[in-house]
């Protein structure tokens, strides 16, 4: 495949907004000073004042628009093409959600508005809490955490509060361990450390689930929690989940559900029914927030009865007269994890999504996500692909699957990284690469339910074509990509001598 | 598709993978799905039950502010290319987003006067907690000394998270009285110096503080460093952390020039709408020595194989997806789109605009403060300089006064006691003045508030 012809904008050397404009140029027109003039030095003493204006850009509005529209075209995005990034659930973002989030009653609503004058927002939050409780099978919800990793932190702080309240963690040394499988998202062990616990890794068995013997050996009275993703990052639903829950509860620990992969099981299986005590949701994944280039996200949590007293404040409650309020009066609460009530703008979008799909639609979404993943997996098991990119674990998968590029690397001298870069030339965002860590040259594929069979076929064909091409000439993949605004970048050099801002004159 | 998979039905895929006992054998107890237009009408009806800044004359602030968001921000944030990708893991096709991060970092460094910035964290209070964690990683000490001038949500967030990573929070009061309003410098110094100062990991204050007063940031920083002292048992100086409001930094001395080590803050005032409290973004800037312990994404400049300038996510060995339990933070998804709004807003304001806007806010805030304090039953909580927000003490119940004002379509501000829970905050009203509040608006507030207080005092006397 020949490199795609580049547009002049793509070829132009990257110049930042700070390198554009001219002295005195501007976009903002300041409202007039309609109050009596008072010398600034009278209102703000010299020693508290800034001496030199910050060297922000000096640009006109048309320049700003051209600049940002121009650099936007150097981004690949979900609206332009297939984005099968594993564990990220890049499903379509309905534009209705943007419209309703932008209604002035939402967008210009101040978080400290009185409850009686924010009843619509509180009702929406209450409705979302209820829906998340039903979907997870865990009755009590806090919408506050800002993203999945923030939800994880909330969950472990809840776990700590729960054990402390039972007198089960009176001093350091008790309940200080958190078990995480080696397939866990990196946020899990990172959160364990931030919450003041120690990580104990669990092995994965040949089927891709938790190694039960390893769990039995490590589950003891020092364990505070097991953090689990189910289906896990291999796309495997752990068949022993009930037994795992029994073992964890048997030693008095809590069971935490990383909800990153909830898109596989909505309306089909519920974390609460599996025995989990705490779950976080990634509203930006399962409940389709636009991912924004890396946020905003939203990471509500749902918990069982025994953990509920410790939930962060505030939570939305319904009073006897059917009005809604924020309840701050929760004596055992862990407190607050951020300002105000959470990412309400995200709540609006996910609430709209849940109301659009309804009970059948959510189940259909998960079923289609799993169907699409299995179909794509089947296409990639065809001759010419599976020998180089075998499925790492299992036969079927849930909403995502992990291939190993080990044989490809060995036989074709093409690494998973090369395959990923070559996919860029075919117009696809590559799957997640080199994760989970236990799979050699991992390639983690999550197509989501909003892709058509034609797209899945085109992707499978592209993989086959790249492998065929690589068998003839691996150098093509080694040099890829060719058609992108820039080609492979020197990441080592960037880290060695970090240049993380423009030098201003 | 089923044939290709080799199964007879969709159900078979699930039956073969999900054990029967944990399969949900019923429908979810949720309403039926709705067509798009019905969902729109439902959400429109809900939104109509909220009284937004569009519907009343609002002086609410205390952490989030009704600044004007220019139209070009809406347009740019809605572009698919910015709205719908994820974290730029593949830099060759993510140069737009990476360059935005790089520009954002440049703007935040310039505003704060600090040499390094990440590409955003969640929001204000959790940014302060993240900075405290950075301090713990940096010096390993256990005590966080925090000014009571921090936002109550910041103090609460700090306590919640610090309990997790094994630190204690010591709160330093503000000076009382009309000459007060600022962090008590003696108490600040004493708290930091306790036990020789070696146990103090971080010293944190807000600029301007929660009650609107502009602190003497240089004095607080210098005192913290002297009190912690290298002679302290821990052999380190505390990390000085300031929670700043970026929109004031056009006129206020930048934290980097005041001896601050880490500047964090709520970014909402920079081009982000209120959204009932989120999403917005948190800014996070620091001195060079903290670079390799910063949380979050950082974009760095580099070149591609053809020598073209490009940007990548850099210093990723700090991050959870590489370092797992040894990561300097657990943050993954952050607030990239909101940070985009922030840097576009700063470009729109520009070098002169941010100063002009700061001076306008300063002048109108001064006018409002003097005008409101003329009313009977109203006095200034303190006399310190204020830029965009100030606190008043009312000789009447704030909630009752607010209800009376609401009848006239005016929301006079935040009931501070309700937010902070502090006994001494009873009767305190926090009033925010953005550039959207004109002199006429302020005059109206003064009239309505004055009348409401008079009526309320009358009613109380009668009772």
Co-location of A299 and A394 in the same domain:
no
Q: Tell me the pTM.
A: 0.97
Q: Is the separation of the CB atoms in B433 and B388 below 8 Å?
A: yes
Asked if A233 and A161 sit in the same domain, the reply is: yes
Mutate to test the interface with B, among A293, A352, A422, A446 (most CBs of B within 10 A): A293
Taking contacts as CB-CB distances below 8 angstroms, the residues of chain B near A131 are: 30
Q: What is the distance between the alpha carbons of residues B3 and A497, in angstroms, rounded to a whole number?
A: 54
Using the beta-carbon criterion (under 8 Å), do B349 and A295 form an inter-chain contact?
A: no
Question: Which 3-state string (H, E, C) describes B21-67?
Answer: HHCCCCCCCCCECCCHHHHHHHHHHHHHCECCCCCCEECCCCCCCCC
Indicate if A401 and A270 belong to the same structural domain.
no
Please, how many CA atoms are within 13 Å of residue B46, restricted to the half-sphere of its CB? 25
* Helix B124-139 / helix B152-164 crossing angle, nearest 10 deg: 40
In a domain, A176, yes or no: yes
> For residue A383, what pLDDT is reported?
81
Shortest distance, CA B211 to any CA of chain A (angstroms): 16
Peptide bond preceding A231 in cis form (omega within 30 of 0): yes
The residue among A356, A376, A402 that closes a domain is A356
**CA distance to partner chain B, nearest, from residue A378 (Å):** 5
d(CA A441, CA A438): 9
Q: What is the pLDDT of residue A7?
A: 54
List of chain A residues whose C-beta atoms are within 8 Å of the C-beta of residue B157? 335-339
Tell me: do A426 and A295 sit in the same domain: no
Q: Under 8 Å CB-to-CB from B223, ≥6 apart: which residues? A: B185, B188, B189, B192
Sheet containing strand B200-207, edge to edge, reads B116-117, B282-286, B262-266, B239-244, B200-207, B143-147, B168-172
Q: Which CATH number is A419's domain given?
A: 3.90.1150.10
Q: What's A391's DSSP letter?
A: B
Looking at the structure, tell me whether residues A349 and A366 fall in a common domain: no
B259 touches chain A (CB under 8 A): no
User: What is the token pair recorded at B255?
Assistant: 């934290």
Q: Token pair of A291, please?
A: 């991912």
Please answer yes or no on whether A117 and B334 come within 8 Å at the CB atom.
no
Give a yes or no: residue A77 inside a domain.
no
Domain that holds residue A35: 8-72
Read off the DSSP letter of residue A385.
Answer: T
pLDDT of residue B463: 61
What pLDDT score was predicted for residue A384?
85
Contacts (Cβ under 8 Å, ≥6 apart) of A217: none
Q: Which residues of A touch B320 (CB under 8 A)?
A: 149, 185-187, 189-190
| Residue A90, domain member (yes or no) | no
Put simply, the answer to whether A485 touches B93 (Cβ < 8 Å) is yes
Tell me: do A287 and A362 sit in the same domain.
no
Q: What is the pLDDT of residue A1?
A: 38
Q: Is the dihedral of CA B190, B193, B195, B200 positive or negative?
A: positive
Residue A93 lies in a domain: no
Element (H, E) at B206: strand B200-207
Candidates A475, A501, A503, A505, partner chain B, best to mutate (most B CBs within 10 A) = A501
- Answer yes or no: do B323 and A190 touch at CB < 8 A: yes
Distance set, CA A111 to CA B55, B277, B361 (Å)? 15, 5, 22
Q: Does A341 lie at the interface with B, CB-CB under 8 angstroms? A: yes
Which residues in A158-169 are b (16+ Cβ under 10 Å) and which e? bbbbbbeeeeeb
Q: Which residues of B touch A357 (CB under 8 A)?
A: 33
Could you tell me if A25 and A165 lie in one domain? no
Contact by Cβ (8 Å): A310, B99:
no
Kindly determine whether residue B337 and residue A295, on different chains, have CB atoms separated by under 8 Å: yes
CB contact residues (below 8 A), chain A span 201-260, against chain B: 231, 236-237, 239, 241-242
In a domain, A285, yes or no: yes
Distance of CA B137 to the CA centre of its chain: 23
pLDDT of residue A3: 40
Helix, strand, coil percentages for chain A (3-state, nearest 5): 40, 10, 50
| Partner residue facing B419 (CB), from A112, A196, A378 | A112
Whether residues A323 and A421 fall in one domain: no
Chain A environment of B90 (Cβ under 8 Å): 76, 420-421, 424, 429-430
In B270-384 the beta strands, taken as DSSP E runs, fall at: 282-286, 299-303, 309-313, 378-380
Cβ <8 Å between A489 and B310: yes
Same-domain pairing of A133 and A188: yes
Domain identity same for A281 and A416: no
Structurally, chain A folds into a number of domains equal to 3
| Chain A contact for B292 (CB, 8 A cutoff) | no
Is residue A499 one of the residues assigned to a domain?
no
CB neighbours of B207 closer than 8 A, spacing ≥ 6? B214, B215, B217, B242, B243, B244, B245, B248, B252, B255
Task: Choose the mutation target among B330, B341, B372 for the interface with A, i.e. most A CBs under 10 Å.
Answer: B330
What is the Cα A219 distance to its own chain's centre? 29
d(CA A117, CA A122): 10
CA nearest to B278 within chain A: A343
How far is Cα A368 from Cα A381, in angstroms, rounded to an integer?
20
Q: How many whole angstroms separate alpha carbon A364 and alpha carbon A370?
A: 10
Interface of B with A in 350-389 (CB under 8 A): 350-357, 359-360, 362-364, 366-367, 385, 387
For position A164, what pLDDT does the model report? 92
What is d(CA A329, CA A181) in angstroms, rounded to the nearest whole number? Answer: 37
Same domain, A222 and A325: yes
CATH class of the B76-344 domain in this structure: alpha beta
Residue A61: list chain B partners with CB under 8 A.
72, 348
The total of other beta-carbon atoms located within 10 Å of residue B317's CB is 12
Residue among A9, A486, A72, A10 at smallest CA distance from B92:
A486
Domain presence at residue A88: no
Residue A52's DSSP bridge partners are none
Nearest-5° angle of CA B167, CA B172, CA B176? Answer: 160
* A444: Cβ contacts below 8 Å, ≥ 6 apart: A86, A87, A233, A400, A401, A402, A403, A431, A432, A433, A435, A436
B147 to B158, B170, B182, B292, B379: CA distances (angstroms): 12, 8, 9, 27, 24
Q: What is the CATH number of the domain that holds A227?
A: 3.40.640.10
How far is the C-alpha of A57 from the C-alpha of A18, rounded, in Å? 5
- Interchain contact, A14 vs B349, CB within 8 Å: no
How do the domains of chain B map onto residue ranges?
2-35, 57-65+351-462, 76-344
Tokens 């390639």: give the residue: A443
Residues paired with residue A302 on neighbouring β-strands, in sequence order: A141, A279
Closest CA to A240 of B26, B11, B17, B12: B17
Domain end position, chosen among A296, A331, A356: A356
Specify whether the CB–CB gap between B354 and A311 falls below 8 A. no
Q: What is the pLDDT along chain A (505 residues), one digit of tens a residue?
A: 334 445 555 556 799 999 999 999 999 999 999 999 999 999 999 999 999 999 999 999 999 999 999 999 999 999 999 999 999 999 999 999 999 999 999 999 999 999 999 999 999 999 999 999 999 999 999 999 999 999 999 999 999 999 999 987 644 457 999 999 999 999 999 999 999 999 999 999 999 999 999 999 999 999 999 999 999 999 999 999 999 999 999 999 999 999 999 999 999 999 999 999 999 999 999 999 999 999 999 999 999 999 999 999 999 999 999 999 999 999 999 999 999 999 999 999 999 999 999 999 999 999 999 999 999 999 999 888 999 999 999 999 999 999 999 999 999 999 999 999 999 999 999 999 999 999 999 999 999 999 999 999 999 999 999 999 999 999 999 999 999 999 999 999 999 999 999 999 8
A with B: how many residue pairs have Cβ under 8 Å apart? 684
Distance separating alpha carbons of residues A78 and B86, to the nearest angstrom: 9
Taking 50 as the pLDDT cut, the residues of chain B under it are 231-234
- Reported as half-sphere exposure (CB side, CA atoms, 13 A), residue B88 has a value of 35
Choices 3.30.420.40, 3.40.50.200, 3.90.1150.10, 3.40.50.1360: CATH for B57-65+351-462: 3.90.1150.10
Interface of B with A in 83-102 (CB under 8 A): 83-97, 99-100, 102
| Under 8 Å between Cβ of A87 and A432 | yes
Give, in degrees to the nearest 5, the angle at Cα A138 between A135 and A142: 95
B271 touches chain A (CB under 8 A): no
Cα A114 to Cα A313, B177, B261, B279, B434: the distances in Å are 17, 29, 37, 20, 20
Quick one: A414 and A288 in the same domain? no
Q: What is the pLDDT of residue A406?
A: 98
DSSP A474-493: HHHHHH---SSSS-SB-HHH
Place of tokens 């009931």: B415
- Does residue A500 lie in a domain region? no
Write the secondary structure of A272-341 as one string of H (helix), E (strand) and C (coil).
HHHCCCEEEECCCCCCCCCCCCCCCCCCCEEECCCCHHHCCCCEEEECCCCCEEEECCCCCCCCCCCCCC
Give Rg (Cα) of chain A: 26
Q: Chain A contacts of B277, Cβ < 8 Å? A: 111, 339-344
DSSP letter (8 states) at residue B334: -
CB–CB of B47/A103 below 8 Å? yes
Of all residues in chain A, the one with the smallest CA distance to B136 is: A194
| Best residue of B23, B36, B57, B85 to probe chain A, by most A CBs closer than 10 Å | B85
- d(Cα B154, Cα B294) in Å, to the nearest integer? 19
How far apart are the C-alpha atoms of A376 and A401, rounded to whole Å? Answer: 9
Where is the domain boundary, A356, A384, A414? A356
Residue reference for tokens 């919408």? A143
Predicted local distance difference test score (pLDDT) of residue A342: 97
């Amino acid at each position: 495949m020949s490199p795609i012809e580049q547009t002049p904008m793509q070829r132009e050397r990257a110049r930042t907004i700070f390198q554009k404009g001219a002295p005195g140029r501007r976009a903002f027109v300041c409202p007039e000073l309609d109050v009596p003039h008072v010398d600034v030095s009278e209102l703000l003493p010299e020693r508290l004042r800034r001496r030199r204006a910050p060297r922000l850009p000096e640009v006109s509005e048309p320049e700003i628009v051209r600049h940002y529209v121009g650099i936007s075209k150097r981004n690949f995005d979900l609206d332009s093409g297939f984005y099968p990034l594993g564990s990220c659930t890049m499903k379509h973002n309905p534009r209705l959600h943007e419209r309703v989030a932008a209604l002035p009653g939402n967008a210009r609503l101040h978080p400290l508005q009185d409850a009686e004058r924010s009843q619509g927002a509180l009702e929406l939050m209450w409705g979302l809490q209820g829906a998340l409780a039903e979907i997870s099978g865990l009755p009590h919800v806090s919408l506050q955490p800002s993203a999945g990793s923030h939800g994880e932190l909330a969950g472990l702080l809840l776990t700590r509060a729960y054990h402390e309240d039972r007198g089960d963690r009176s001093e350091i040394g008790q309940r200080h361990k958190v078990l995480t499988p080696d397939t866990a998202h990196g946020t899990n062990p990172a959160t364990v450390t931030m919450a003041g616990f120690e990580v104990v890794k669990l092995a994965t068995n040949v089927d891709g689930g938790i190694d039960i013997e390893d769990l039995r050996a490590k589950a003891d009275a020092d364990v505070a929690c097991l953090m689990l993703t189910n289906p896990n990052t291999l796309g495997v639903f752990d068949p022993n989940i009930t037994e795992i829950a029994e073992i964890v509860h048997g030693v008095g620990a809590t069971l935490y559900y990383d909800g990153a992969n909830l898109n596989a099981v909505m309306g089909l299986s519920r974390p609460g029914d599996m025995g989990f005590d705490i779950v976080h949701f990634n509203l930006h994944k399962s409940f389709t927030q636009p991912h924004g280039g890396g946020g905003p996200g939203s990471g509500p949590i749902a918990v069982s009865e025994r953990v509920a007293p410790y939930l962060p404040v505030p939570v939305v409650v319904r009073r006897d007269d059917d009005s809604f309020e924020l309840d701050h009066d929760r004596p055992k609460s862990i407190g607050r994890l951020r300002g105000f009530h959470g990412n309400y703008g995200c709540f609006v979008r996910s609430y709209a999504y849940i109301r659009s799909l309804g009970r059948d639609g959510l189940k259909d979404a998960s079923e289609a996500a799993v169907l699409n993943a299995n179909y794509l997996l089947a296409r990639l098991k065809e001759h010419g692909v599976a020998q180089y990119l075998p499925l790492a674990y299992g036969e079927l998968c849930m909403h995502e699957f992990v291939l190993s590029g080990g044989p490809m690397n060995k036989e074709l001298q093409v690494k998973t990284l090369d395959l990923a870069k070559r996919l860029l030339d075919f117009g696809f965002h590559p799957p997640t690469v080199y994760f989970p860590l236990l799979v050699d040259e991992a390639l983690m594929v999550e197509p989501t339910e909003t892709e058509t069979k034609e797209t899945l076929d085109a992707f499978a064909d592209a993989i086959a074509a790249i492998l065929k091409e690589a068998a003839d000439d691996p150098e093509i993949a080694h040099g890829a990509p060719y058609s992108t605004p820039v080609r492979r970048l020197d990441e080592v050099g960037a880290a060695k001598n970090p240049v993380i801002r423009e030098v201003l004159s | 598709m089923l044939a290709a998979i080799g199964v007879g039905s969709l159900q078979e895929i699930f039956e073969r993978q999900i054990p029967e006992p944990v399969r949900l054998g019923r429908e979810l107890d949720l309403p039926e799905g709705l067509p798009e237009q019905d969902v729109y009408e439902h959400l429109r009806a809900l939104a109509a039950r909220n009284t937004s800044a569009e519907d009343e004359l609002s002086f609410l602030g205390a952490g989030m502010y009704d600044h004007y968001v220019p139209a070009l921000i809406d347009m740019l944030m809605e572009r698919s290319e910015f709205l719908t990708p994820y974290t730029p893991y593949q830099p060759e096709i993510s140069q737009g987003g990476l360059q935005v991060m790089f520009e954002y970092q440049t703007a935040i460094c310039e505003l704060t006067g600090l040499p390094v910035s990440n590409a955003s964290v969640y929001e204000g209070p959790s940014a302060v907690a993240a900075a405290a964690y950075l301090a713990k990683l940096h010096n390993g000490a256990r005590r966080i000394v925090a000014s009571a001038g921090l936002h109550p949500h910041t103090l609460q967030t700090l306590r919640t998270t610090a309990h997790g990573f094994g630190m204690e929070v010591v709160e330093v009061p503000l000076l009382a009285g009309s000459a007060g309003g600022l962090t008590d410098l003696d108490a600040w110094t004493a708290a930091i110096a306790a036990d020789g100062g070696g146990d103090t990991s971080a010293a944190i204050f807000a600029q301007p503080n929660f009650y609107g007063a502009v602190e003497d940031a240089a004095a607080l920083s210098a005192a913290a460093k002297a009190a912690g002292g290298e002679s302290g048992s821990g052999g380190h100086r505390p990390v000085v952390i300031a929670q700043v409001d970026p929109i004031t930094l056009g006129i206020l001395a930048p934290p980097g020039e005041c001896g601050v080590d880490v500047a964090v803050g709520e970014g909402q005032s920079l081009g982000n709408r209120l959204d009932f409290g989120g999403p917005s973004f948190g800014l996070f800037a620091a001195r060079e020595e903290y670079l390799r312990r910063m949380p979050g994404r950082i974009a760095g400049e580099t070149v591609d194989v053809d020598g073209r300038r490009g940007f990548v996510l850099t210093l990723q060995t700090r991050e959870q997806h590489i370092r797992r339990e040894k990561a300097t933070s657990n943050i993954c998804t952050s607030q990239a789109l909101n940070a985009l709004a922030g840097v576009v807003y700063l470009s729109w304001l520009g070098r002169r605009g941010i100063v002009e806007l700061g001076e306008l806010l300063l002048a109108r805030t001064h006018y409002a403060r003097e005008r409101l304090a003329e009313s009977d039953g109203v006095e200034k909580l303190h006399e310190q300089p204020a830029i965009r927000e100030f606190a008043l003490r009312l000789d009447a119940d704030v909630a009752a006064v607010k209800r009376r004002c609401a009848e006239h379509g005016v929301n006079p501000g935040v009931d501070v006691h309700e937010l902070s829970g502090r006994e001494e905050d009873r009767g305190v009203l926090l009033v925010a003045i953005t550039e959207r509040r004109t002199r006429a608006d302020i005059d109206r507030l003064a009239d309505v508030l004055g009348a409401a207080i008079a009526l309320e005092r009358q009613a109380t006397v009668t009772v």
